[in-house]
Homo-oligomer: A and B are copies of this chain.
Amino acid sequence: MRDTWISEVSSKEGEEVTIAGWLKDVKKIGKLCFLIVHDSTGTIQCKCEDKPNVRKESAIVVKGKVVKDERAPGGYELAVESVDVVGEACCPPPFPRKGDVSLAVRLDNRVFDMRREEVQAVLRIRSALLTEFRTFFASKGFVELTAPVLIPSASEGGAEVFRVDYFDKPAFLAQSPQLYKQLAVISGMDNVFVTMPVFRAERHDGPAHINEIYQMDVECAFADDDDVVSLLKHAITHMLNAVKQTKRHELEVLGVKLDVPEVKEITYDDAVDLLSKHVDIEWGADFSREMENKLCQLLGTDLVVVRRYPTAIRAFYSMPCDDKHCKSFDLLYKGVEISSGAQRIHDYNLLKKVMEEREMDERQFTAYLEAFKLGAPPHAGWSMGLDRITMLVCGLQNIREAIPFPRDKNRLMP
């Protein structure tokens, strides 16, 4: 129906084009009428002799000649030959396009909300981050693994898992592809990545909490924590640089200046020493959001990898490096944890011992444990939260804004 995207109009001066989009606004100036039309690539002014009979927000197809005019926003307009209303809006919009609207009202009317330029910019940046994650690892020969969502037991031994009625038996929704990416690596696939929705049945309902999360995972065979921390630093730098270059327009719409900070590393112990001069912290505790923020501030960068956490506060499969620490790490971006990983225990006997010490129910992990008898190489990996990175890159206050159709304790609609 269209032969030209609105972003291409300016390159077709004097030509007759057909655009398609939504009627954002109508302005009457003297005898003339101006239609402001947008598609996903931009906005254009269309000049008519007569005001067409069409409601705002309708889907229209406009045919016209491209005219250079300095008075038009963007410097070009269409001299309209015909306006075809192909999808009439049959009610007024739920709220004005511009101006303050509460997030709850926005999300209740998400389809209309997504018609706003800022929201589309966020969703395009989200899409780009995901693409660039995959591109980075595919270019390094990693294979994409599709891990199951339906699993027989809680993936990491956590309690906060959703239960499914699976043919009169219980099944659960994956909290992470963790165990499956490890199985794939042990199976000889060497290096894999996974991008998938995961589910946490947490009852929190704050601005940083949602229950369906989009996660990006990596796992490497014959690798230790040094190897995958190095990959992590390169991956995040690539992703931010790529968005900075390819999503200029979207960042501009959001008024965001995207920096790609230097990545600094610090051990957990050094971080505790450093923080203890400023806040009340004891060795062995996990960092609060405020401490993570402070740490980035003290190190003078927005990207910090904290390494070698106390074993007691990390997942059971983290490889110990001494009697107190393990080869685990977190990546903080703008003071928020966006990635978490570790070298994993690959020795069957050690894994069994650790699970016993933590009083885990081994029967829930039979298939996982058995795999470590088959010749498991040293391996390491991490996962990254797409929703959080999108929120931070776009400078949003609530993670729900970073997701097309967010899910929380109280929201399953639309």
Contact = CB atoms under 8 A, between A and B. Distances in A.
A412 B86 contact: no
A111 interface: yes
Contacts of A171: 412
State the number of copies, please: 2
Contacts of A183: 110-111, 405, 414
Contact of A1 (B23, B86, B222): B222
Contacts of A324: none
Given A147-B404, A149-B212, A188-B114, A413 B367 contact: yes
Given A111-B186, A162-B164, A409-B167, A89 B151 contact: no
Interface stretch (A124-132, A267-275, A328-336): A124-132
Interface in A355-370: 366-368, 370
A188 B22 contact: yes
A57 B188 CA distance: 10
Contact of A189 (B40, B149, B221, B378): B40
B151 A127 contact: no
A38 interface: yes
A247 to B, nearest CB: 11
Interface string A67-97: 0000000000000000000111111010000
A254 interface: no
Q: Which of A112, A191, A368, A412 has the most CB of B within 10 A?
A: A412
Contacts of A184: 114, 404
Nearest to A194: B404
B373 A189 contact: no
A2 B223 CA distance: 9
A325 to B, nearest CB: 21
Contacts of A404: 145-147, 180, 184
A89 B167 CA distance: 36
A203 interface: yes
A201 B110 CA distance: 29
Chain A contact residues, majority secondary structure: mixed
Nearest to A165: B163
A146 B197 contact: yes
Nearest to A414: B367
A162 B165 CA distance: 6
A407 interface: yes
Interface in A285-306: none
B38 A188 contact: yes
A52 interface: no
Contact of A378 (B87, B150, B407): B87
A173 B164 contact: yes
Interface string A194-233: 0011010101000000011010000001111000000000
A20 interface: yes
A357 to B, nearest CB: 20
A187 B23 contact: no
Q: Which of A143, A146, A214, A376 has the most CB of B within 10 A?
A: A146
A120 interface: yes
15 contacts: A20-B377, A59-B221, A91-B374, A111-B186, A126-B146, A127-B145, A131-B138, A131-B144, A149-B149, A150-B212, A151-B412, A166-B412, A366-B413, A367-B413, A368-B414
Interface of A: 1-2, 5, 20-23, 38-41, 55, 57-59, 61, 86-91, 93, 110-115, 120, 123-124, 126-127, 130-131, 134, 138, 141, 143-152, 162-167, 169, 171, 173, 180, 183-184, 186-191, 196-197, 199, 201, 203, 211-212, 214, 221-224, 346-348, 366-368, 370-371, 373-378, 386, 403-405, 407, 409, 412-414
Given A147-B405, A148-B405, 4 more contacts: A87-B346, A124-B143, A148-B197, A162-B166
